[in-house]
Structure 1
Amino acid sequence: MSAKTDKIDRLAELTAGHDLSGKGAGLWTEAFRRLRRSPMAIIGATIIIVFVILAIVGPFIAPHSPTALTWGDEVSPARSEFVGPRAGNILGLDHLGRDEFSRLLIGARQSLMVGVIATGIGFIIGAVIGGISGAAMGLGGKVGKSIDNAIMRFIDMMLALPSLLLALSIAAVLGPSLTSVMIAVGTVQIPIFARLLRGSMIAQSHGDYVLAAEALGVRRRRIVLAHIVPNSLGPIIVQATLSLATAIIEAAALSFLGLGNPDSAAPEWGVMLAQSQRYLSDAIELAVYPAGAIIITALGFTLLGESIREALDPKLRK
């Protein structure tokens, strides 16, 4: 049986895109080479790298405290008196006299944290649910089909609800907090990952290496766990990159609606956008800065995710 399983392992590697002669490159290596030649991938990766660096070092390089009302006496929203960019405040002051640049920098860390954790919640739970459903289908039998049907009908119910409405409902029930936002946004992404992994596993189950393994007498459970599951992870890894963009936008939307951090003084792009809407006619830049940060960051993750998907999918390669 050891010789048989070795043959299956080698066949599975070949199907996954690896050259067993040792001279070629694997699927991900070839994809990386194509990404290096893609302007869209380079732009997306550059935006993400800059965003991550600023999120990490932001609190250390911020010139001022993001919550200190240091220049509060210089602004007066009631009299339409605002302070724009100047020496010492390169993006000016907000409606309470706080440094806008410092708030924007520190807000990047919170947006990154919420996006990564929310996507992680959706990825892990969705992968577990989709993996169970796909494995049940792969094992076959009435019991397997019954398990798959039960799981997928629940997933279909979640998909039937608009994502933002579902996230809004969950966050409202849990109460305003960053934890609520992360759970709400992560929950919305669970059915996406579950459906994607299940579909990928079903497609992989019809591969030549699966038929060869069955012909050699390898147990179905071993085929599912050792080969079908690992070869099915590519699409959901790509989806995770795309979901980060969605997570950042939805988290900002929930914070904009007042369901994020209950401390309104804490810098967060969604909160900054919500606070600026009353002063659009007098200081539109207060809305442009956080909105631009959200759009550019989401664009970076979207560009990179689409480039990875194109590099991995033969139908989309140029």
Structure 2
Amino acid sequence: MSAKTDRIDRLAELTAARADEGGHGLWYEAFKRLRRNPMAIAGAVIVLVFVLIAILARVLAPYEPDAQTWLGETSTATMTFPGARAGNLLGVDHLGRDMLSRLLIGSQQSLLVGVVATVLGFSAGALLGGVSGACLGLFGTAGRRVDAVLMRFNDMALAVPSLLLAVSVATLLGQSLITVMIAVGVTQVPVFARLLRGSMLAQSHSDYVMASTALGVRKSRIVLNHILPNSLGPVLVQVTLSLATAIIEAAGLSFLGLGGVDAAHPEWGFMLAESQQYLSGALRFAVYPATAIIVTALGFTLLGEALREALDPKLRK
């Protein structure tokens, strides 16, 4: 048995080496296509700028986000709020706080929530989908029963609109930034679970799986060493798309008042909520954070869609 499995591994390595001599791997070819795709370049630039701004926000912000330095110059009664000027490139808000500083610091919150929520959703979803796919491949009838139970619960979660599910979870856990991360992460779990399970099922009918089975390789080794690694491509693409969804849903929860309220750590969704009563006199209060949310989500979406097209064999040119 050991000799057979070692021979399979050597054959796989030899095949990969020969493939590299005449061409390149899937990810390398996908990267080449991405470099020629204007949509991918635009998305990558937006994402890179967003990440750099979030990392350097404290350095770039000219003032503290909670400093009410210009409160004496504002008037909510007459809707008087200083606009763009030399000291405040985007003006000040109703409490005399610098808008640019609050937007820059808010990018940190959006990036943090998006990344943590997506990691939570990916981890739990990959575990659920991996267990379901492995049960189908390893345990026959009993495995199919386990898969049926897990996927029915997963289908019920998918049937609930993601924002409604996030609001329900956030309401149960209470108001905080951690609550927003968990709530948004929960909405991502069924998506990753269903995607990984489907990808594993597709891989289970591949020629290399049938060859390994014919040579007597243990099913557990086939699933863990071959099927699972080869099934992660579509899931990794979904991670990029889920980041955009996570940022939007996190902003939605904060807009509804379910996120953490901290003046020293502003969040774009909460800034939108604060702007509602001043729309008639200072529309820019809503335009700035809304534009930041839209552009950031667009960047992740463009990059994710381009990556999906680059990895799809039906769309290769």
Do they superpose with TM above 0.5? yes
Distance 1:55 1:149, change over 3 A: same
- Gaps of at least 5 residues in structure 1 are none
SS at structure 1 position matched to 2:259: coil
Number of the residue aligned with 2:27: 28
Number of the residue aligned with 1:70: 69
1:52-67 pair list within 5 angstroms = 52-67=51-66
| Alignment-mate amino acid for residue 184 of structure 2 | V
Number of the residue aligned with 1:195: 194
| Alignment-mate amino acid for residue 181 of structure 2 | M
SS at structure 1 position matched to 2:217: coil
1:130-145 pair list within 5 angstroms = 130-145=129-144
CA distance in 2, matches of 1:244, 1:262: 22
2:39–2:306 Cα contact (<8 Å) kept = yes
1:192-223 per-residue CA deviation (whole Å, 9 max, x = no partner) reads 00000000000000000000011111111111
The two structures have a TM-score, normalised by structure 2, of 0.96
CA distance in 1, matches of 2:280, 2:124: 44
| Alignment-mate amino acid for residue 148 of structure 1 | D
1:19–1:25 Cα contact (<8 Å) kept = no
CA distance in 1, matches of 2:10, 2:44: 33
1:242-261 per-residue CA deviation (whole Å, 9 max, x = no partner) reads 00000000000000000001
2:309 equivalent to 1:310: yes
1:8–1:209 Cα contact (<8 Å) kept = no
SS at structure 2 position matched to 1:315: helix
2:244 equivalent to 1:237: no
SS at structure 1 position matched to 2:77: helix
1:58-207 pair list within 5 angstroms = 58-207=57-206
Number of the residue aligned with 1:224: 223
CA distance in 2, matches of 1:11, 1:260: 54
Number of the residue aligned with 1:256: 255
Q: Give the stretch that moved more between structures: 91-100 or 21-30.
A: 21-30
| Alignment-mate amino acid for residue 165 of structure 2 | L
Q: Kindly report the root-mean-square deviation, in angstroms, between the aligned alpha carbons of the 2 structures.
A: 1.5
CA distance in 2, matches of 1:103, 1:295: 17
Q: Give the stretch that moved more between structures: 259-268 or 235-244.
A: 259-268
2:5 equivalent to 1:5: yes
| Alignment-mate amino acid for residue 75 of structure 2 | S
Aligned-pair distance for 1:12?
5.8
The two structures have a TM-score, normalised by structure 1, of 0.96
What percentage of residue pairs aligned between the two structures are identical?
Answer: 67
CA distance in 2, matches of 1:13, 1:258: 55
CA distance in 2, matches of 1:253, 1:84: 26
2:65–2:263 Cα contact (<8 Å) kept = no
2:114–2:250 Cα contact (<8 Å) kept = yes
1:122–1:193 Cα contact (<8 Å) kept = yes
Distance 1:176 1:14, change over 3 A: farther
Aligned-pair distance for 1:314?
1.0
Aligned length: 316
SS at structure 2 position matched to 1:93: coil
| Alignment-mate amino acid for residue 176 of structure 2 | S
Distance 1:114 1:11, change over 3 A: farther
| Alignment-mate amino acid for residue 158 of structure 2 | L
1:180-202 per-residue CA deviation (whole Å, 9 max, x = no partner) reads 00000000100000000000000
Distance 1:261 1:86, change over 3 A: same
| Alignment-mate amino acid for residue 284 of structure 2 | E
Distance 1:249 1:129, change over 3 A: same
CA distance in 2, matches of 1:193, 1:87: 47
Number of the residue aligned with 1:295: 294
| Alignment-mate amino acid for residue 164 of structure 1 | L
- Gaps of at least 5 residues in structure 2 are none
